Amino acid sequence: MVEERLSREDAELVAGLRAGDEAAFRALLQQYGPGLLRVAQMYVSSRAAAEDVVQEAWVGVLRGIDRFEGRSSLKTWLFRIVVNTAKTRGVRDARSVPFSSVEDEGGTVPPDRFFAESERFPGHWSVPPSSWAGVPDERLVADETLAVVRRAIGRLPEAQRTVITLRDVDGFDADEVCNALDLTETNQRVLLHRARARVRAALEEYLG
Amino acid sequence: MKLERELACRQVVELVTAYLDDALDPVDRERFEEHLVFCDGCANYLEQMRATIRLAGGAGLVLPPALESRLLDAFNDWRTS
């Protein structure tokens, strides 16, 4: 088996899974389960159908684990199995939000944070953001701060929420997200950028 | 992505995600980084966006318990087969 390219953590999970270790399987579910469920949900209309896709995909993972050679990361391999399983289940249902059309909404930072064109430094910060370097780590990673992030993500328009969740919460890369959502690279980036900007603004309001 | 010669902060903030994804062309990347050297506001903005991304990574949700137990059953079937 060629596994020197896998992270040590992934290599341990793979070895554990091959040995039939339930703890390794649980760890894998905890780490990748929610993200893969969200990926499945991109392809089917109901939550129940997405859960069926995920179950079928995990069975495929278990059957295929002996053949996994570590040429991609474990996460990318899992992602592909879920996407392929979802695709063979049938056509993608019509989505309520057209991910492919991204309208121009102007800037992601309120214009009153910058000097106007008529002023001395047009387009430069009039109310610059402060540094968070002084925010104590305990505060930055506190449950309340994470709750602010979750709430801000929850309030985003669907396309932005989906993209930031897959990219930043679940950690899929840009190519994977474009592939799962049928998005161009540019539109993926625009949606991600708007989403991050809004979450940042919510954090700024909370942290100062 | 091609940019004007001189970047204003209002433009810089819109390029952060492209910068972090390494999607700016080399000339624009250099211009972006030059701007940050002299602009604390934009340097702070970039740091805040990085912190936002890190925090979003910690905001993960958990698998629905019913699905988790279904998957554990599937695992045990596989292990004993």
Q: Is the pTM of this model over 0.90?
A: no
Token pair 């610059």 is at which residue? Answer: A128
Q: For B13-37, how does the pLDDT look when each residue is reduced to its tens digit (9 = 90+)?
A: 999 999 999 999 999 999 999 999 9
d(CA B15, CA A190): 10
Residue range(s) occupied by CATH 1.10.10.10 in chain A: 111-127+134-207
Q: Complex ipTM, two decimals?
A: 0.82
What interhelical angle do A74-88 and A47-64 show, nearest 10?
Answer: 130
The residues, ordered by sequence, that sit 6+ positions from A85 with a Cβ below 8 Å of its Cβ are A40, A53, A56, A57, A60
Distance CA A27, CA A35 (A): 14
Nearest to A200 among B18, B49, B78 (CB): B49
Say whether residue B65 is in contact with chain A using an 8 A CB cutoff: no
Which residue in B39, B75, B50 sits closest to A62, CA to CA?
B75
pLDDT at A91 over 60: no
pLDDT digits (tens, 9 = 90+) for B47-78: 999 999 999 987 776 788 899 999 999 999 99
Is 1.10.10.10 the CATH classification of the domain at A111-127+134-207?
yes
Residue A187 has a pLDDT of 93
Query: A132 and B48: CB-CB below 8 Å?
Result: yes
SS3 for A110?
Answer: coil
CATH code of the domain made up of A8-88? 1.10.1740.10
**3 state SS of A125:** strand
Cβ of A29 within 8 Å of Cβ of B63? The answer is yes
Every domain of chain A with CATH number 1.10.1740.10 lies at 8-88
A13: left (phi over 0), alpha (psi -120 to 50) or beta: alpha
Return the CATH number of the domain spanning residue range B9-80: 1.10.10
Interface test mutation site (partner A, options B75, B79, B81, max chain A beta carbons within 10 A): B75
A105: tokens are 């909404």
Is there a contact between B17 and A196 if contact means CB atoms under 8 Å apart? yes
Indicate whether A94 pLDDT > 50: no
